Structure 1
Amino acid sequence: MKSRIYFIILTAFLFTACSSKSGSGYVPKPKGYNRIDIPVAQYQTLEGNYPYTFEYSKLAEIMPDKSTNAEPYWIIVNYPTLNAKIQFTYKPLNGDLKKLDAHVADAYKLASKHQVRATSQTEQIVSLPNGKKAVVMELEGEVPSHLQFYITDTTQNYLRGAMYLNKATLNDSLTPIVNYIKKDCIHILKTLNWKK
């Protein structure tokens, strides 16, 4: 009999303890992401036999582009700790304006491939301290490439860059990495110089 009374008291206690005064019931926890700490940016100068030079993050390493269609001077600025990269494709113009037109059209075509998953795309012409101008295209949404750009001297050199994330994670959780590499891309453009 005593155990039955204890059971009834315990059951009554549990029902009153679990009931909500507001009547709203269960409330799920808010969505959370892993914390990503990124150090303050420090830069180094690109070394090597390239027709261009720029400063890039000390978090990154330079790797040759080994894709099947890679050409000379195509490189990847790889961020191994951030699981991201910037792919650079270089094209010599040799004074041929038709080549320049084709490369610019190709840059827009490659950016438009991401519009299927992009929620927005903005384009701006960035004036750089060295007097050069670059076209920067930012894409928002669940896209693998959040930033693409190109810069040219219009007669001899054309360089296109595209930032890629290596993870298939939702991009909201990678916002600190995306913002860090976007700033790096702008720094690369600001410090870029042609060697010929």
Structure 2
Amino acid sequence: MKTKYFLLIIGLVAFMQACHEDSYYPKPSALYRMPLPEHEYVAVADTMPYQFEISKYAIIKPDTSWIAEAHWVHIFYPDFVADVQLTYKAVHSQQELQRFVNESYKLTAKQQIKATAINEGKYTTPNGHVVSFAAIEGEVPTQFQFFTTDSTKHFLRGALYFRTSVANDSLAPVIKYVTEDITHMMNTLEWKK
């Protein structure tokens, strides 16, 4: 009988201890949260056929790949391991411009294999440039693509990449942050004559 009471008292003490505020509770699994700084922008060096402002947290690096052409650059975000690859083409004819536009749409269409959605659209910047873009959802290598042209001399295409194995749903706040920077970049774009 004494053993029953002893076990009952031990059980009550353990129960009361479990109800105490400092008890351990397993944390639910969560997505990685990266702190995002306020948007701040700086003008890029005046060495390209285009001029715009980029995030002060990004670095412009030349494209050194074997297929790179003049004025191809990477806008790299070291803290996010994000990269906006920009490819510039001088336009010499309307046929050439149409080829650049078609190639841009084909590169976006290649994402359909893994994409859960591709949301395409256009907007006009304060400087009067029309920007075509595609926001791509799913586990895809590039989450945002865009291009713009003056229709006579210049064509600029960009794509956002993350050099990380983190799932895109976890990167959603960073993708939104960088696409806001891309929008600012396009809104401040000026072509050189």
Question: TM bucket by the smaller chain?
Answer: 0.7 to 0.9
SS in 2 for 1:148: strand
**How big is the shift at 1:114?**
1.2
Report whether the alignment pairs 1:119 with 2:105.
Answer: no
SS in 1 for 2:142: coil
Identity in percent? 40
How many residue pairs get matched?
182
Report whether the alignment pairs 1:62 with 2:60.
Answer: yes
Residue by residue over 1:67-126, the C-alpha shift from the partner in whole angstroms, topping out at 9 and shown as x without a partner, is 1100000000000111101000000012x0111111111101111111111110011111
**How big is the shift at 1:29?**
5.2
**Residue segments in structure 1 that go unaligned for 5+ positions in a row:** 18-27
Residue by residue over 1:107-150, the C-alpha shift from the partner in whole angstroms, topping out at 9 and shown as x without a partner, is 01111111111110011111111111110111011112111000
TM-score (norm 1): 0.85
SS in 2 for 1:33: coil
For the structure 1 residues 60 and 156, does the alpha-carbon distance in structure 2 shift closer, same or farther, using more than 3 Å as the test? same
Provide the residue aligned with 1:189 in structure 2: 186
State the AA in 1 paired with 2:71: Y
- What is the root-mean-square deviation in Å for CA atoms of aligned residues? 2.3
The counterpart of 2:95, out of the listed 98, 112, 120, is 98
TM-score (norm 2): 0.87
Q: Distance in 1 between matches of 2:100 and 2:149?
A: 10
Q: Distance in 2 between matches of 1:79 and 1:191?
A: 19
**Residue segments in structure 2 that go unaligned for 5+ positions in a row:** 16-25
